[in-house]
Structure 1
Amino acid sequence: MKRPLRGVFTAALAALAAVASLGLSAAPASAAGRHAAAAPDARAAVTVDFAGTVSLSNCSGSLIRFPGSASTDPALVLSNGHCLTSGFLDPGEVLVNQTSTRTFGLLNASGRSVATLRATKLAYATMTDTDISVYQLGRTYAQIQSSYGISALEVSGTHPVQGTAIKVVSGYWKTIYSCSIDGFVHLLKEGDWTWKDSVRYTSSCNTIGGTSGSPVIDTATGKVVAINNTGNEDGGRCTLNNPCEVAANGTVTVRQGINYAEQTYGIGTCVTTGNRFDLTLPGCLLPKP
């Protein structure tokens, strides 16, 4: 997992000890995955910059919306579950509607902080199957747009495709990494945690600590398709900061220096009117408490 300052499984450990560095750099990996490689896209790539990203005290994140979100809905911020100030969540643990006053620095296109946004609650968080935290803010999308001229990033509602060109945008470091989706991992195991259908980057996304929670943006659509979260630092096998890939047949593969992200299309399956999380919705894909 990067820590706030070094790897993708970020500084949630800071609450437990000194911010552990979880640097994750990416190295070449053979493409593999259930989803076909993307065909060449005739569309011009959209401009991907820092607008709509946020900086946390220990991680990166983004101001997000879903296809069904209204401008009058309370805005949401997405980061990693391991970026909670309270520390890492246990396997199987899910938090819903917890009071929070956490603050976020809202960035403009050039990466300058233009506002401090404050949460009213932690709407959802888990480190099981995925690695996400979603905060509800005290301001609506319309209010943020009117005050700062910044729109939220839209989360794609579909599974990403192998070969897609992506950018990982870190609000913490104000750095953008460019690469492609190398493939998908059946199970990604790191210490006590297991994530499903994780995104593996090609080697040029050599993300570092503090990039945890960064949105992974499809350069053709400008939509968020995943959230940066971990990588194998030292070549260890399935240990903290050294995740391993587990295939459907049980084969374990270690790719030292390779970085990973967790897909985000499933989040919107559990969000209803007013940007409210409802884990009882038919088709909701997120883990339940």
Structure 2
Amino acid sequence: MQRRFLGVLSAVLLALTTLTAMASVSYAAPAPQTKAADFTGIVALSNCSGSLVRTPNSADSDPAMVLTNGHCLETGMPSAGQVITNRASSRTFTLLNPSGGDQATLRATTLLYGTMTDTDAALYKLSSTYAQIKQQYNAPALEMVLQRPASGGTLHVVSGYWKRIYTCQLNGFAYRLREAEWTWKDSLRYTSQCNVIGGTSGSPAIDGASGKVIGVNNTINESGGRCTLNNPCEVDEQGTVTVRRQIGYAQQTYTLANCIAPGTTLDLNRSGCTVPRG
């Protein structure tokens, strides 16, 4: 009898010990799932990459927009301090299908905004509406965020020119990014996996969790040069210069997305619109 009682007691103690151990385990919150990236909403330019974009406030009946870099303009790179707004344009863009094949040609009517000052971005207004593009090609536009993103998440940089997808992490922000005569503010910094090359300029930087556009890819320090063309450097609040060889950057787009009013019109007086006015 005594042996049997001890056996039962041992079993009870073992069960209590196991439950206590389980109760003491802390479970971390699940990390946000990364959405798979493809070429939906991606376009190729003659010299760069780009994306079909909209804001959360865009209507399906509004003319669609294409986002790319200011240094990708068909007229060449704007000089420091130059801002171009509402200029007629007939530029064409090759719309890709989700697997990266050429699907259609889209045409601009207007360069809504283009600059390389504080940011490196350009927005074109197209001759087709979002609804027409979706109906004809089953191609939804990518949504641009209206707020500054947080650091640390997964990014996809999707190049229509090279039909290539880079995936890395958002590794923080550069207070100022200087390259030759141009200076950009609050730039997104990539981890080294996004080793972008020429032709990827203008690619959207897409947040891996939400699938939304948070930036536009524009440069990488190619050879370790200090603040020269193709070799950007970071400058902090105290003026200290840091060179990060083979690290790439994108420019945030929420500052420009907030400038788009109903009907795909540019309104530089809208709340949250903080891009230069020239």
Normalising by structure 2, we get a TM-score of 0.88
Q: Which has the larger radius of gyration?
A: 2
Q: Provide the C-alpha distance between the structure 2 equivalents of 1:149 and 1:283, rounded to a whole number of angstroms.
A: 31
The 2-side partners of 1:78 and 1:212 are apart by 11
Matched to 2:197, the amino acid is: I
SS at match of 1:267: helix
Within-5 A mapping of 1:205-244: 205-244=194-233
1:224, 1:281 → 2: CA distance?
A: 20
- Residue 48 of structure 1 deviates from its aligned partner by 1.5
Distance 1:272 1:246, change over 3 A: same
What is the aligned counterpart of 1:125 among 114, 125, 128?
A: 114
Task: Choose between structure 1 and 2: higher helix proportion.
Answer: 2
In the other structure, the counterpart of 1:65 is 54
> Are the equivalent residues in 1 in contact too, given 2:68–2:216 (CA < 8 A)?
yes
Distance 2:65 2:197 in 1: 25
* Deviation (angstroms), 1:223: 0.2
Residue 253 in structure 1 maps to residue 242 in structure 2: yes
Matched, 1:197 2:186: yes
Q: Distance in 2 between matches of 1:50 and 1:278?
A: 30
Give the superposition deviation at 1:270.
1.0
Counterpart residue type for residue 186 of structure 2: D
Aligned Cα RMSD in Å? 1.2
Structure 2 unaligned spans of 5+: 1-27
Cα distance in 1 for partners of 2:119, 2:255 equals 10
Paired with 2:192 and 2:32, the residues of 1 have a C-alpha distance of: 24
Q: Secondary structure at the match of 1:71?
A: coil
Equivalent position to 2:277, from 268, 275, 288: 288
**Residue 19 of structure 1: aligned partner:** none
User: Is residue 2:21 matched to residue 1:53?
Assistant: no
Q: Percent identity?
A: 57
- How far apart, CA to CA, are the structure 2 residues paired with 1:40 and 1:260? 30
- Figure out how many residues of one structure are paired with residues of the other and give that number: 251
Q: What residue in structure 2 maps to residue 170 of structure 1? A: 159
Which structure would you say has the larger RCO, counting Cα contacts within 8 Å and 6 or more residues apart? 1
Q: Does structure 1 residue 76 correspond to structure 2 residue 53?
A: no
Distance 1:150 1:288 in 2: 32
Which residue identity lines up with residue 158 of structure 2 in the other structure?
A: V
Summarize the Cα distance change of 1:100–1:45 in structure 2 as closer, same or farther, 3 Å threshold.
same
Please identify runs of 4+ aligned residues in structure 1 that moved more than 4 A.
none
| Offset, 1:40 | 6.8
Instruction: Give the aligned partner of residue 261 of structure 2.
Output: 272
What is the TM-score with the length of structure 1 in the denominator? 0.85
Matched, 1:110 2:92: no
